[in-house]
Structure 1
Amino acid sequence: MSNLKLNQKPTSIAYSCYHTQNREGEQFSADHVLSYQISGTLTLHNSNKKYVFKPGDFRFIRKNQLIKFIKQPDPDIGFQAISIYLDQETLRNFSIEYNQKTNLIKNHDEEAVIQLKEVPLLKSFMDSLIPYINEDQLINQELQALKLREAITILLQCKPELKDILFDFTAPGKIDLEAFMKKNFHFNVQLDRFAYLTGRSLATFKRDFQRIFDSSPSRWLLQKRLQQAYYLIKEKGKTPSEVYLEVGFEDLSHFSFAFKKQYGFSPSKV
């Protein structure tokens, strides 16, 4: 995987490319992301839904989403995708300059990932980035800013209703902590991230968590992940190497150590 070279923010325009076996993991972005699938297949899933993207597909991923992914390279040309990260500062400046406001009433069940129709404007925009990918050129700060503004303008023209998403700068509202954690425990993120996504300070999150679950967040997360791993191995026939990422562990050795400490035997002995 490589990123286009940038002077200021190396993740604003990212190019993903490799030719080896499938890759899986999880991602979180505090910014909205516009992506184009060039080759290979990308499967995304959150706690509610699975999304599959083929070559030629465009997608818009809302900010602050916990998402797991599987990247499957094409046997001949590998996996290639371009992603544009629309940072909050750029969007704020755009909204002020063009008086773009949102009247959105938050709906926590809205789609995390939106598939966009292929239109000439989107395709030509992504094609304009190809020379920088192929020649590994430097995109200077001014050109990067222009490309981000161009992406926003095209999105608003192709799908005007995205205005209520792009220019919503409010923090996540306070939501049902118990329901959220039961659906998202398998994501490997810091406690302060869980707190933010449930609309709480870290201190309030820990206090509410203790009251609801009668346990600390760290202890509960470990137990929940190990229980899910045991179920997947015993009932679904999965191997330890298949489940450790799925249930939220960073590496196989840490998972195996925690599993053996909990159950008295290694996960391969289930």
Structure 2
Amino acid sequence: MVDPKSDKLASPIAYSCYFTRNREGEQFAPEHVFSYQISGTLTINNGEKEYVFKEGDYRFIRRNQLVKFVKQPPVDGVFKSISIYLDQPTLRSFAMEHGYQAHPGSHAAEPIIALKGGSLVKGFMDSLMPYSLDDQLIDADLQALKLREAIMILLRSSPEMAGILFDFSEPGKIDLEAFMHKNFHFNVQLSRFAYLTGRSLATFKRDFEHIFHTSPSRWLQQRRLQEAHYLMKEKGRTASEVYLEIGFEDLSHFSFAFKKMFGIPPSRLAG
């Protein structure tokens, strides 16, 4: 799992296991992620579309995606998934060694892709389990081999993935206003928003203030509070249900900001 604010990843092979209840969260995927759903259900939302993956499903999340997720264990069971993160240096090295050409501009491709299974893909995912269970330390050379094996298997089972795997271009400059209205509820640093809109942080702030006539931080808080007010007033949601969803980290901070903006605590807002 990647922290939405740091991009830090302890290992390129990650095993996820949750027992008793749904777990909600969000993350920024700085690298491509190839995953297998062992048990339970994973629901992913990128702000435009919802994707649901059940036991036995395989998925591919393209890099540079902001996503929210819900991990739901099966009845009396355990949520389990295993993922491998395909970093850009490994992909560049693989492309050079195997004669693949770079494919710039695959940004129009689906951000989250349901992949075909088959014995080759299943066998590979099964082979990752010993590297991920019991907090076993993974030898760096074995990690490198598994990453390359994952690339080979993706290309063998889905040759069209070459256009995504070997697209090394960075996000281009896009419509900042539309992007912010779509992604305001993601709780990430301004530098991440800047990067995803194809701007330096300084240019992002300048363009933002030109469009919205206020600072990014002030606009984000106001926009999130407006969305919370709508969800509670019109949809009957509670503060504890919406504060994480709309981009706040802390319920008490959300309640304080809400009261300051609307004059009443969220608990007094009638549905």
Q: TM-score range by the shorter chain?
A: over 0.9
Cα deviation 1:170-214 (Å, max 9, x = unaligned): 110000111111111111111010000000011111111111111
Equivalences for residues 173-192 of structure 1 within 5 A? 173-192=172-191
Conservation of the 8 A alpha-carbon contact between 1:91 and 1:166: yes
Residue 40 of structure 1 aligns with which residue? 40
- Given that 1:102 and 1:165 are in contact with CA atoms closer than 8 Å, whether structure 2 keeps it comes out as no
Q: Check whether the contact 1:34–1:60 (CA below 8 A) recurs between aligned residues.
A: yes
CA distance in 1, matches of 2:172, 2:162: 19
Q: Structure 1 CA distance, aligned partners of 2:232 and 2:138?
A: 47
TM-aligned CA deviation for residue 94 of structure 1: 0.8
Q: CA deviation at 1:256?
A: 1.1
Cα drift, residue 53 of structure 1: 0.4
Aligned match of 2:219: 220
| Runs (4+) off by over 6 Å | none
Q: 1:105 Cα deviation (Å)? A: 3.2
Q: Check if 1:78 corresponds to 2:78.
A: yes
CA contact (8 A) 2:106 2:164 kept: no
How much has 1:263 moved relative to structure 2? 1.2
Closer, same or farther: CA 255–96 of 1 in aligned 2, 3 Å? same
Q: Which position in structure 2 is the counterpart of 1:112?
A: 111
What is the CA-CA distance between 1:136 and the residue it aligns to? 4.2
Q: Distance in 1 between the 2:34 and 2:45 partners?
A: 17
SS in 2 for 1:203: helix
| Contact kept in structure 1, 2:105 and 2:167, CA below 8 Å | no
Distance 2:134 2:28 in 1: 29
1:211-259 deviation per Cα after TM superposition (whole angstroms, max 9, x unaligned): 1111111111000000000000010001111101111111212211111
| AA at the equivalent of 2:53 | F
Question: In structure 2, do the counterparts of structure 1 residues 146 and 261 end up closer, same or farther at CA, with 3 Å as the change threshold?
Answer: same
* 1:154 matched to 2:153: yes
Residue number in structure 2 paired with 1:61: 61
- Give the CA deviation at 1:135: 4.9
Instruction: Name the counterpart of 2:239.
Output: 240
Q: Distance in 2 between matches of 1:47 and 1:131?
A: 35
Asked if the contact 2:106–2:167 (Cα under 8 Å) also holds between the matched residues in 1, the reply is: no
**C-alpha deviation, 1:102, in angstroms:** 2.8
Q: Could you say what secondary structure the match of 1:128 adopts?
A: helix
Q: Does 1:256 align with 2:255?
A: yes
Question: Are 1:41 and 1:53, in contact at CA under 8 Å, matched by a contact in 2?
Answer: yes
- The corresponding residue for 1:199 is 198
Q: d(CA) in 1 for partners of 2:38 and 2:173?
A: 38
Q: When the two structures are aligned, how many residues end up with a matched partner?
A: 262
TM-score (norm 2): 0.93
Q: CA deviation at 1:86?
A: 0.5
Preserved contact between residue 22 and residue 71 of structure 1 (Cα < 8 Å): yes
Q: How far off its partner does 1:132 sit?
A: 3.4
Letter of the 1:205 counterpart: F
Percent identity between the aligned chains? 67
Say whether the 8 Å CA contact 1:244–1:255 is kept in structure 2: yes
5+ residue gaps, structure 2: 2-8
CA–CA distance in 2 between the matches of 1:135 and 1:226? Answer: 42
- Distance between the aligned counterparts of 2:87 and 2:106, measured in 1? 20
Post-superposition shift, 1:32?
0.3
Are the equivalent residues in 1 in contact too, given 2:38–2:81 (CA < 8 A)?
yes
